[in-house]
A and B are shown apart, each in its own frame.
Chain A
Amino acid sequence: GAVVSQHPSWVICKSGTSVKIECRSLDFQATTMFWYRQFPKQSLMLMATSNEGSKATYEQGVEKDKFLINHASLTLSTLTVTSAHPEDSSFYICSALLGGTSVYEQYFGPGTRLTVT
């Protein structure tokens, strides 16, 4: 149980285009999901907290108009990178909180590698 999927697993796009990444909790409902970004040889940096039915909370320095987050259902959150640039190339990972167990125990998706050319 507690499986989180991401789609796509990797994507290459041209500079200036938008890319949507999906994060799904497959066998549980998640009112809260998190989006992280990881650059090579660096740790995970929290970008935003996605709450079902309400606006996402963004971390300082993360542009909310560039990284659009929608958490429309209890099993799906999406991250859209708008007008992508090469510096947005990174590994994007989502996680979901499994209710009923420890609220601090997050289950991570397999990640999406974005390359912007």
Chain B
Amino acid sequence: EDKVVQSPLSLVVHEGDTVTLNCSYEVTNFRSLLWYKQEKKAPTFLFMLTSSGIEKKSGRLSSILDKKELFSILNITATQTGDSAIYLCARASGSARQLTFGSGTQLTVLP
């Protein structure tokens, strides 16, 4: 089954904290793992990870993929209230060009 599992399902932190969001996947024919941030509307693209062990970074956000253990993490350092959102990871398969999404992690950053 092409399952994508995210943990935790929800997380409440205070501004300035660092968070780590997890995403594991069970799939053959894996192509890439994508992270999205969803606020009130549609998801916005954060990262696409294809190679194992190579960290992608954008400001306070970073992500890395472990293809051997089939998981990825998304780190957010020095969190701000504007980081409050649902963070979705999705797996892309090699042939179908479709994305299978995890259930998301609801992050709430309190002032």
Main secondary structure of the interface of B (DSSP, over half): strand
Knowing A43-B88, A43-B104, the reply to whether A103 touches B97 (Cβ < 8 A) is: yes
**Which partner residue on chain A sits nearest B89 by CB separation?**
A43
**Is B62 in contact with chain A by the CB < 8 A criterion?**
no
Our pick among B43, B88, B99, B101 for the contact of A104 (Cβ within 8 Å) is: B99
Q: Which residues of A contact B31 (CB under 8 A)?
A: 104
CA separation between A32 and B97, bound complex, in Å?
A: 10
Q: Check A110–B41 contact: CB distance below 8 A.
A: yes
Cross-chain contact A110 with B42 (CB below 8 angstroms): yes
**Across-interface contacts of B101 in A (CB, < 8 A):** 43-45
A/B pair count, beta carbons within 8 Å: 50
A110 to B44, alpha carbons, bound, how many Å? Answer: 10
- With contacts A42-B103, A43-B88 taken as known, whether A105 is within 8 angstroms of B98 at the C-beta atoms is no
Check if B48 sits within 8 Å of A108, measured CB to CB.
Answer: no
A79 to chain B, nearest CB (A): 14
A106–B42 touching, CB < 8 Å: no
**In the assembled complex, B34 has its CB within 8 A of some CB on chain A:** yes
What residue in chain B is nearest A93 (Cβ atoms)? Answer: B42
A105-B48 in contact (CB<8A): yes
In the complex, what residues of A have CB within 8 A of residue B43's CB? 44, 93, 108
Closest Cβ of chain B to A90, distance in Å, is: 13
A68-107 Cβ-contact flags toward B at 8 Å (1 or 0): 0000000000000000000000000101010000111111
Residue A34 is within 8 A (CB to CB) of chain B in the complex: yes
Is A25 an interface residue, CB under 8 A from the partner? no
Q: Which residues of B contact A13 (CB under 8 A)?
A: none
B106 contact set on A, CB distance < 8 A: 41
A-B contact pairs, 17 of them (CB 8 A): A32-B97, A43-B102, A43-B103, A44-B99, A46-B98, A46-B99, A95-B42, A97-B97, A104-B31, A104-B32, A104-B34, A104-B92, A105-B34, A105-B45, A105-B48, A106-B45, A108-B43
Q: List B residues at the A interface (Cβ < 8 Å).
A: 31-32, 34, 36, 41-45, 48, 88, 92, 97-104, 106
